[in-house]
Amino acid sequence: RTQRRRPSRRSTIRSRKNYRPEWLWNQRKLRFHPLRQIGCVLLVLCMNLALSSSADVLQDTIDRLYVHRDTFLPEKSEFRIIRTYFPLSSSFTLRQENHLTPADLEEIRALPHIQSVQGRWTEKVFVPVDRVGELFAYNQPDTDTPLNRQITDALGTDGTPLELNLCVVSDFSELESILPQGSVSKEEIDSGQKVILNLPQYVVSTRSDGSTSYSVRLPEDPMPIGNGVLLANDQFTVGQAITLCQFCVDRETYERNTQWEDNNALFASAEKRTAETTVGAILAADSMRFYTVFTTPEGLSSLGLCCDYTSEIEMETDGPTDAETDALLQSALTRIAAREDMDLSYYT
């Protein structure tokens, strides 16, 4: 009868180039040390104590946060009515029947817990000039185009039309906080006698691949411009008389126009609006809209210009609000935003 051989235990011996007797001896002493098992038990106990202490500290922190939770909540709720699109119009100011007005801001201000409301409306405006400075030459290099010649002919002037943004701000303090003291008053802006320009400085640099980059530079910035070229306002001066011009057409009329290459029919039917005013102050703020003429709703009315497109409306509450109040405000503000097909965003 054949007997089965019990399988033998195999072990692998790894060969080493270097033999270190002292290392082997220390490993053997550690492995067979009588306190080795006690050390393992103590290590496990220390780890349990550490985990228990961490859990206690975490629970204490959570309890403190819960007790003082009002401290970590936002002090105010913020809402914004914003526009997610703008109409594509290269030359015309579009009038629209349904749009938000300062009266809607008063309706918002009357809502419960609304503390502050700021509205901004934007459109375009042309300023004819006899000379184009270096700043605008860089940013509007193609002044001799068929479209610009159409604008010049429609304006009835030999000057070059510079395109700027027209921005109407409901709260003059938004500008007053960054204006030089005593430079211009709200009464002068409301009467249309003066407007405020924002013309930031630029540094034009040439990259290694030959392309050009633009970066806004604040007047008080101490950093050197390196090999770049500084472009500052060399077009307008405080006290300078300027003419603001618009070509106003109804939005529906503009959207029905299919002759995109030839705007002569639109220019012929457009209402030309002009306003004579004076530059009251010039800003160079990068946080404001670039190349912009600022006025107020009262100033817009005095100038006789059109600015129907709401850019945004910002609102703040007088303090933290609960979920029920937030829901009521969101519902009311969403209905108001729908009057001009705008969206509501909020942070509570």
Digit-coded pLDDT (tens) for 233-287: 899 999 999 999 999 988 888 877 755 556 777 888 889 999 999 999 998 876 6
Query: CB-based contacts of 227: which residues, under 8 Å, 6+ apart?
Result: 205, 206
Query: What separation in angstroms does the CA of 306 have from each of 123, 128, 266, 273, 300?
Result: 8, 18, 17, 8, 7
Could you count the other beta carbons within 10 Å of the beta carbon of residue 247? 24
Tokens of 44: 């496990």
- What is the pLDDT, as a whole number, of residue 29? 59
The percent of residues above 70 in pLDDT, for the chain, comes to 71
User: Are 126 and 274 in contact, with CB atoms under 8 Å apart?
Assistant: no
**Digit-coded pLDDT (tens) for 94-113:** 888 889 999 999 999 999 99
Q: What share of the chain is helix, strand, coil (3-state, %, to 5)?
A: 35, 25, 40
Instruction: Say which residue the tokens 């909020």 belong to.
Output: 346
Tokens of 214: 């633009």
Q: How far is CA 47 from the centre of its chain?
A: 50
Query: CB-based contacts of 236: which residues, under 8 Å, 6+ apart?
Result: 197, 199, 242, 279, 282
Between residues 74 and 83, the one the model is more confident about: 83
Residue 90 has pLDDT above 80, yes or no: no
pLDDT class of 157 with cuts at 50, 70, 90: confident
Rounded CA-CA distance 296/97 in Å is 20
**Digit-coded pLDDT (tens) for 118-137:** 999 999 999 999 998 888 88
**Digit-coded pLDDT (tens) for 31-56:** 555 656 666 767 777 777 777 666 66
User: Are 320 and 310 in contact, with CB atoms under 8 Å apart?
Assistant: no
Q: Beta strand 271-283 with 93-95: parallel, antiparallel or unpaired? A: unpaired
Give the burial string for 12-31 (b: 16+ CB within 10 Å, else e): eeeeeeeeeeeeeeeeeeee
- Looking at residue 339, the DSSP 8-state letter turns out to be G
Between residues 221 and 84, the one the model is more confident about: 84
Query: What separation in angstroms does the CA of 208 have from each of 156, 205, 226, 227?
Result: 45, 10, 14, 12
Rounded CA-CA distance 287/268 in Å is 38
- What is the pLDDT, as a whole number, of residue 333? 93
Q: Beta strand 241-250 with 93-95: parallel, antiparallel or unpaired? A: parallel
